[in-house]
Amino acid sequence: DTMATLTTRILETRKERLQVTLLLALGVPCSAQLGVLLGMVAILTKTAVFVWLGTVLLTLLAVGWLASRLLPGESSDFILELPPIRRPGLGNIVIKTLARVEWYLKEVLPLFVIGTALLFVLDKFGWLLVLENWLKPVIEGGLGLPGSTAGVFLIGFLRRDFGAAGLFILAREGLLTANQLVVSLVVITLFIPCIANVLMIVREQGRRTAMAVVAFVFPFAFLVGAFLNHLFNWLHIQF
C-alpha cells in the first residue's frame, strides 16, 4: 500500500487522490501482511473467511461512498490513453526494471528503514510496554481479545507485516478462538497504515492530511472490530 499511495499522484484532482489514499490506508494490506493473513485464514472455516472479507469489503464501500459525498472538490473523468501493444524488447525491459528498482530504493526503502528503527528504539527504552498497557483495556473490553494482542497492534502500526505475524503466532499457539481470530483479522486489516505508509502520505498529501487519515482510521478500525465482537455475542455466533 506504500507503493500504491505513491502512484495516486497520477489522479487529476486532490479529492480523488485523498479518497484513494484513505481507502488504501484503511483496507489494503501490504504484500507481506497479505501473505501472513492468507496463512491465518487457512485455519478458519469458509464462513469465517467470508465474514472477514465481507466486513472489510463492505467497510471499504461504505467509507468510499461517504468520502465521495463529503470530501470537497470535483471528480474528473478517469481516462488514460492506452499505448499500442507491441512485443517488448529485452534491452528495454532490463533498463526499465533497473530504473524502477533504483526509484524504489530511493523513494520507499528509507521509509521502511525509519519504521524499523523506530520500532527498535521504542522496544529498547520500554515505551512499547507502556503503550501496550494503555491499549489493553480497549482490546479486552471492546474487542474481546486477550491483552497480549495489544502489543501486536502496536507493532502493526510500525510494521503491518510484523503485527500480522504476531497474530499468526497467537493463533498457532491456540491463544485465540475462531471468533477472536476473525475480529483480530478485521481490525489488523483496517488498522492504521504502517509508519512507512504514513510518511508516504505526509510526503504526498501533507502533514495535516496524514494526521487526519490516521485520526480517522485508528478509532474506526477498533469500532468496527468492537461492533463485530458484540454482534457475535448478541447473535451467539460461533465459528
* Residue 92 within any structural domain of the chain: no
Q: Is pLDDT larger for residue 227 or for residue 122? A: 227
* Residue 105 within any structural domain of the chain: no
Of the chain, the percentage scoring pLDDT greater than 70 comes to 89
pLDDT at 28 over 80: no
User: Which range marks the domain in which residue 146 is found?
Assistant: 31-58+110-235
Alpha carbon of residue 187 to chain centroid: 9
* Residue 18 within any structural domain of the chain: no
Q: Is pLDDT larger for residue 62 or for residue 33? A: 62
Q: Are 163 and 153 in contact (CB under 8 A)?
A: yes
Q: Is pLDDT larger for residue 17 or for residue 35? A: 17
Alpha carbon of residue 160 to chain centroid: 7
Residues 216-232 pLDDT 10s: 888 888 889 889 988 88
Number of domains in the chain: 1
Alpha-carbon distance 84 to 80, whole Å? Answer: 13
* Residue 137 within any structural domain of the chain: yes
CB atoms closer than 10 angstroms to residue 212 = 15
Cell numbers linked to 57: 469489503
Give start and end residues of each alpha helix (H) in the chain.
2-6, 14-27, 31-41, 46-70, 90-107, 109-124, 127-141, 149-158, 160-172, 178-190, 195-205, 207-235
- pLDDT at 114 (0 to 100): 75
Q: What is the mean pLDDT of residues 85-96?
A: 84
- pLDDT at 23 (0 to 100): 85
- pLDDT at 159 (0 to 100): 65
* Residue 139 within any structural domain of the chain: yes
Q: Are 36 and 161 in contact (CB under 8 A)?
A: yes
* Residue 196 within any structural domain of the chain: yes
Alpha-carbon distance 55 to 123, whole Å? Answer: 33
In sequence order, which residues have a C-beta less than 8 Å from that of residue 15 and are 6 or more positions away?
A: 71, 72, 73, 74, 75
* Residue 131 within any structural domain of the chain: yes
pLDDT at 206 over 70: yes
Q: What is the pTM of this model?
A: 0.75
Residues 128-173 pLDDT 10s: 777 777 878 878 887 888 877 777 777 776 666 667 777 777 777 7
* Residue 115 within any structural domain of the chain: yes
In sequence order, which residues have a C-beta less than 8 Å from that of residue 195 and are 6 or more positions away?
A: 111, 114, 115, 118, 157, 158, 159
Average pLDDT, the chain: 80
Alpha-carbon distance 56 to 74, whole Å? Answer: 27
